[in-house]
Amino acid sequence: MEKWLEENLGALTEALSPCKDCPVANTERDVNLPGTGAVITVLELLLAVLYPGCHGQAPIAHENCQSHLKRTLRDIALKLRDQTHRAFEYACRRTKCGDCHDCAQKAQKAVAALLNGLPAIRDMLQQDIQAAYEGDPAAMSTMEIVMSYPGLYAITIHRIAHMLYAQGVPLIPRVMGEHAHSKTGIDIHPGATIGPGFFIDHGTGVVIGETCRIGKRVKLYQGVTLGALSFAKDEATGMLVKGTKRHPDVEDNVVIYAGATILGGDTVIGHDSVIGGNVWLIHSVPPGSKVYNQTPRPVIRPA
What is the reported pLDDT for 224? 98
Domain segments of the chain: what residues?
32-185, 205-303
- What would be the CATH architecture of the domain defined by 205-303? 3 Solenoid (2.160)
What is the reported pLDDT for 166? 98
pLDDT band for position 235 (cuts 50, 70, 90): low
Q: Which superfamily does 32-185 belong to?
A: serine acetyltransferase, domain 1 (1.10.3130.10)
pLDDT digits (tens, 9 = 90+) for 101-131: 799 999 999 999 999 999 999 999 999 999 9
Segment 183-203 mean pLDDT: 98
pLDDT band for position 25 (cuts 50, 70, 90): confident
Do 32-185 and 205-303 share a fold? no
pLDDT band for position 98 (cuts 50, 70, 90): low
* Residue of 186, 169, 291, 96 whose CA lies nearest to 177: 186
- pTM, two decimal places: 0.91
Average pLDDT over the chain reads: 93
Say yes or no to pLDDT of 63 above 90. no
pLDDT band for position 172 (cuts 50, 70, 90): very high
Chain centroid to Cα 238, Å, comes to 29
What is the reported pLDDT for 234? 67
pLDDT digits (tens, 9 = 90+) for 127-138: 999 999 999 999
